[in-house]
Structure 1
């Protein structure tokens, strides 16, 4: 029993440590476009909630990630549950780090962002897939689609 408790503690420690870096409190006031422009290039984390059809955008401010804004997802595919393999038409679930080189302005969909699936957690669980994006056009075959105005 003691070994199981230790194993669970080790398994959950990264989650607890990472959770402390995020501040889930909503912005006190709506964030202006000008302020968002000032934050361009800052590290971000995206958290997506399928059932709620919500994308939360966290931006690194100092040593913590602060919730910058929440956006509505207009469409995703495959229902609830994680994406497990290429071709299952499911949209991934989890935290994904987005770097500047993951922006895909040449995509056939409006302002596409490669979310970086699979991340380390996904790979550790044997999940695979590629070219999973957040984009406009409200059409999904495994991606998270937003309206064009929503992704602006």
Structure 2
């Protein structure tokens, strides 16, 4: 009898645990449905941005960095955050063939169907390789992603925590009405010094073509208009008579669109100071962590939330007045009687 009572008690406890666990499931959200963290929402508010505003992504292989830019009320894009790329495969230069394990370089568009919430690499979005430029030059491949899991075989791999925030930012921008966002993938920051450094590379001509789009965005903080004709990128062109360019044919007659420089004070506000990196000099431009499955680097300064909970300096305790002091304070507080009163 006692044994039966003990068994019934165990069963009851198990049922209660299951009910509690099932009730907790109502609080669980899969990664692709999570909201932005309070810290990220605070940073957006601090920078005058919203989660729903359009985004633009810039990738720099040599520096192993991915930037998110957000648009503001003036329609221009401003730097929101720079994220470390955990791993990318291959060397500097574009992806050419299926299986070459190269990460692509160029201008790509990402729309809602390219978002992959059930990726085997945590979360991901498809860059859209090969684009019209790639196809016109006979380049092959598919399923080139920005994803998590920190392992790359031709993709840009982030840590799971980093790709989660990037994915949510992209999801919110697309849900907010942005039809697609531009991804600009570069071999390195295309400064004059870096271009000079790589002037003898076999891909230098291709990189000069990419630099036209890089310079346009640097000056205007507006996504460059990108077309493809004569097997190359044509940046900021308006075709005469509304002609449609053929990626493999000669470019129709066109006029160059003026590049509107962002106001000086806006440029200063949104400027990004590149950090010194050594990835370009060693290991064929690959992040060191890709060789060992680890991520290395100097300790980073802690990141603080935009919210505060009180004054930075604690209030100084007020000493309890002595009896003599109380008498003086009472006398000083007494009203002065005048003739008019």
Going from structure 1 to structure 2, the CA distance change for 1:43 and 1:142 (only over 3 Å counts) comes to same
> Aligned partners of 1:102, 1:56: CA distance in 2, in Å?
19
Distance 1:95 1:66 in 2: 19
Aligned-residue offset at 1:47: 1.8
Alignment of 1:83-122 (within 5 A): 83-122=95-134
* Greater radius of gyration (CA): 2
Which position in structure 1 is the counterpart of 2:62?
A: 51
The reply to whether residue 33 of structure 1 matches residue 40 of structure 2 is yes
SS at the partner of 1:117? coil
Q: Equivalences for 1:47-86 in 2 at 5 Å?
A: 47-61=58-72, 62-86=74-98
The structure-2 alpha-carbon separation of the partners of 1:127 and 1:65, relative to structure 1 and needing over 3 Å to count, comes to farther
Tell me if the contact between 1:48 and 1:94 (Cα under 8 Å) persists in the aligned partners: no
Taking the aligned partners of 2:75 and 2:62, their CA distance within structure 1 comes to: 30
**C-alpha displacement at 1:134, in angstroms?**
0.6
Task: State the alpha-carbon separation in 2 of the partners of residues 97 and 50 from structure 1.
Answer: 18
Query: Which ranges in structure 2 are unaligned for 5 or more consecutive residues?
Result: 1-38, 165-341
Say how many residue pairs are matched: 120
Whole-angstrom distance in 2 between the partners of 1:58 and 1:124? 29
Larger strand fraction of residues:
1
Deviations 1:34-87 (A, max 9, x none): 1389324x4433221111101122234343233222111010111211101211
Q: Which residue of 1 aligns with 2:31?
A: none
SS of equivalent to 1:59? strand
CA contact (8 A) 1:43 1:98 kept: no
Match of 1:147 in 2: 159
CA contact under 8 A between 1:112 and 1:135: conserved in structure 2?
yes
Of residues 124, 127, 137 in structure 1, which corresponds to 2:139? 127
Q: Which has the higher helix share?
A: 2
- Residue by residue over 1:84-137, the C-alpha shift from the partner in whole angstroms, topping out at 9 and shown as x without a partner, is 121111111123222222210111001111112123332333322211111111
Corresponding residue for 1:136? 148
CA root-mean-square deviation: 2.2
The secondary structure found in structure 1 opposite 2:119 is coil
Output one character per residue of 1:9-41: Cα deviation in whole Å (capped at 9) or x when no partner: xxxxxxxxxxxxxxxxxxxxxxx511389324x
